[in-house]
Amino acid sequence: MSYFTHRVAVNAYLLYKNRFLLLRRLNEPQIWGRPGGRLRKNENPVEGLVREIFEETGLHAHVKLPVTTWFGEFNGQQLFSVDYLCTCDSDKVILSLEHDAWRWLALDELRENKENYFATGKGFQLKDFELALSLEQAMENRKIRL
């Protein structure tokens, strides 16, 4: 008997110099999203997120803290996601074959929403990026290192 009810994913509010990284999916649904993905069986969430970010972007990430959670249906599966604030030391993205475009966007650019970054109404929202940036700024102001 299986007690598993859903898959677990991890995603990143990945910051470099106060700009967030968004990736555009190549396959359906062709939407903009944050780096991340589903965890492997028994995988540590932080290690899984570092792996996903590197696989999708070639970037080495520093995971700071959880920001938001989400539960819902994605691609016909029940999915629980933990979304972390992360930083990296470079903006040199090497895209995986899962994506066809990337953007580093400041919060003001996300607010303009020129490329319909929040098209689906599901998943991440502008307020989530605002929260992530405010947490990063609070940690910087207090010189908190995790």
Asked whether 62 and 87 are in contact (CB, 8 A), the reply is yes
Please report the pLDDT score of residue 122 as a whole number.
58
* Predicted confidence (pLDDT) at residue 105 exceeds the cutoff of 60: yes
Q: Which domains does the chain have, with CATH numbers?
A: 7-141 (3.90.79.10)
Q: How far is residue 17's CA from residue 94's CA, in Å, rounded to a whole number?
A: 18
- What is the average pLDDT value for the chain, to the nearest integer? 89
pLDDT interval class at 118 (50, 70, 90): confident
As a dihedral over the C-alpha atoms of residue 24, residue 30, residue 35, residue 37, rounded to 10 degrees, the angle is -160
pLDDT digits (tens, 9 = 90+) for 22-74: 999 898 778 889 999 999 999 999 999 999 999 999 999 999 999 999 898 87
Tell me whether the omega of the peptide bond preceding residue 66 falls within 30 degrees of 0, making it cis: no
pLDDT interval class at 144 (50, 70, 90): low
